[in-house]
Structure 1
Amino acid sequence: MEKVIDDFVQHLALRRGVSQHTQRAYAADIKSLQGFLEREDKTLLDTSLVDLRDWLANCVEKGMQPATLARKGAAARTFFEWAEKTEHISSNPASRLLTPKPKNKLPKVLNQDQVSSLLNAAQTRAHSEEGSAADLRLWAICELIYSSGLRISEAVALDVSDVDFIQALVRVVGKGQKERVVPMGKPALLALQEWLTRGRPEFLQKAQEPRALFYGQRGGRWNDRDVRDKVHRLAQHAGVPDIAPHALRHSAATHLLAGGSDLRSVQEILGHSSLSTTQRYTHVTPERLKSAYYIAHPRA
């Protein structure tokens, strides 16, 4: 079964638009299913629809959220579809598997003062006497994610050549290998310049990919998990609500809309394929709605 799972993960790696994060998550989900089946003296290749439903029910009993259940269901459907096409099984037991639709939760965001506190804390630490190359790296990536509304996976995948310091633009390859070019603000440019001149050279000695913009301690591209861990610690140090790096992207979208940007422009910056995804951010700007109401409504 291990080889079957490895072959499946390799298949995912070759599929266009499947991120490494999705590959890891799906592999973990299928191994979870395998472990559940082994307790019932079964294998992945003799799984039934009832087995899959029992597995998901067991996940519910463990307190897993609808979003996690939906992903596990998607992993199972993808795996068994592949297993049928590659003739590991004769029929797909997951073809009629239904999973709960995840709730459309409102994204967690920081207000503008909180974002300023977070980024100022990162800058202060980077410029302190105890500041290190790693502190410059954290400051730079936080400024970049917030300034350009990047996903963390997009930020750590950037090469130095993707940043245009003259025009203040960054070329990003997002989900589905879709490319977009987005602007950067001056604070992000300054932080990146300091990282490139004072911080990044210290990492180059172990560099495995000379083109990468951000390195981890071992010389590979900076791992998104390590970025999350460091941003959590930075939020605690700055005295702002605990956030993940993705909340900086959400905050950027929210603040753009609050400042008067139209939905289409924000959609382009974030790289959303659907405008409905971008519309999630309109809920957090009631002041903007009230302002528009009082300006435009004849009976306001």
Structure 2
Amino acid sequence: MALPPTPTEIPLSEAVGRYLESCRRRAMIRRLSTATVTNYTVDLHRFLELLPQAGEHTTESVTGAHVDEVLLAYANTTDHRRRATPGDVVGDPRKRMAATDEEAKAPGSTLRMRRSLSRFFAYCVEQSWATVSPMRTSEMEPKDEGKLRVERTSLDLEQAKALLVHGPGDAKSNPHHDRDAIALGLMGVLGLRAGEIVALDIDHLTRATPTAPASLQIYGKGRTWRTVPLPPWLEDLITAYRARLGTGAPAPLLLSPTGRRLAVRDIERLLERAVKRTRAADPARARAVVPHGLRHTAATLMLAEGWDVKIVAQLLGHTTVHTTSQYLDELPGELSVAVNAHPLTPVRA
């Protein structure tokens, strides 16, 4: 039996740089999303900041105990989504130590950091920079991610309708109202991820014919393509938007004011502005939501309308219905309606 090759140790910081460069190259050929590369970059740089004497470590010297020490320190920093109070020290909120458990990182954030480290050290082993991954002896692994933040859960039907109507604004209040309406429709109706939307080109659109509806070719997770039918009203919005841009417009389906491809953060900001417009126009039905919350909205509302879960899974690009089930949120009053409609409910005279 052949022994594994002796690892070629390199400085830990150099390994991080090489790994992130590899991630950026994979993003260029769409084997990774740019958002994923951004997360890896933030997490690994934070790892180097929190690891004592990081500059003295090599790819072979990091142990599971070192990883646990970093994860514990990371978990005790404040959640950067929490707004600073007047008494807080000015600085990077990601590096501020939490004063209470409520201010500390959510278990899901620490779990994401751990996954980033797992992928990095697995790469080190693949490159023969380390014998084994220190993650094998790491003991700090958050299991319970807790409830989703409200912004990541689905809107109810009235909230979703209000966002689609008021969120884009109009030509007077928002010069990009048609583009924003398309983005909101792709997220809230078809359940597309923000990363999938920004990757769309106009060539991915197939126009409707007398025998077939319009459709989009979506490049999703797992480096797979799927075809998503496009409702006529959304096709009309895209057609009018591209006509306004002119025949010489760049290839990306949705463009920034300077004509470049949108980034995931642009989609997030677009949605934040849409929520503000909705709150101004219809405060009773307005609620904060993030792009993934609109993906939850699409799945939940379709299932509530009686769609087959396999069809919803296909639309969202899930390989199993188990994944789809994790996207479903209970709508207000839905459980009560279901119980009252039970087939064994006695019929009142």
TM-score with structure 1 setting the length: 0.86
2:130: which partner in 1?
89
1:126 aligns with 170
- Deviation of 1:181 after TM superposition, in Å, equals 1.0
- Which residue does the alignment assign to 1:253? 299
- 1:241, distance to aligned residue in structure 2 (A): 0.6
- Please report how far the alpha carbon of residue 83 of structure 1 lies from its aligned counterpart in structure 2 after TM superposition: 1.5
The match for 2:196 among 143, 150, 154 is 154
Change (3 A) 1:217 1:102: farther
Cα contact 1:80–1:94 (8 A) shared by 2: yes
* Per-residue deviation, 1:235: 0.4
Query: CA offset at residue 88 of structure 1?
Result: 2.6
The code of the aligned residue for 1:97 comes to S
What's the offset of the Cα at 1:73? 1.0
- Give the counterpart of 1:43 among 35, 57, 66: 57
Question: Out of 109, 125, 143, which is 1:68 matched to?
Answer: 109
Higher helix share goes to which structure? Answer: 1
1:100 to 127, 136, 142: 142
Cα gap change, 1:51 to 1:286, in 2 (>3 Å): same
| Pairing 1:116–2:181 present | no
Structure 2-normalised TM-score?
Answer: 0.75
Q: Is the 8 A contact 1:257 1:285 kept in 2?
A: no
| Structure 1 residue corresponding to 2:214, chosen from 159, 162, 168 | 168
1:153 Cα deviation from its structure 2 partner = 0.6
Runs (5+) with no aligned partner, structure 1: 205-209
Change (3 A) 1:42 1:174: same
Aligned to 2:67: 52
Give the match's secondary structure for 1:149: coil
* Cα separation, 1, equivalents of 2:264 and 2:153: 19
Whole-angstrom CA distance in 1 between matches of 2:288 and 2:111: 25
CA distance in 1, matches of 2:133, 2:304: 48
The answer on 1:278 being equivalent to 2:324 is yes
Q: What letter matches 1:5 in structure 2?
A: V
Q: Look up the match of 1:11.
A: 22
Which amino acid in the other structure matches residue 207 of structure 2?
F
**135 and 291 in structure 1: CA distance in 2 versus 1, 3 angstrom threshold:** closer
Q: Which runs of 5+ in 2 are unaligned?
A: 1-11, 78-103, 280-285
| Counterpart in the other structure of 1:207 | none
Query: Which of 1 and 2 has greater Rg?
Result: 2
Q: Secondary structure at the match of 2:154?
A: coil
Cα shift at 1:286: 7.3
Total equivalences in the alignment: 291
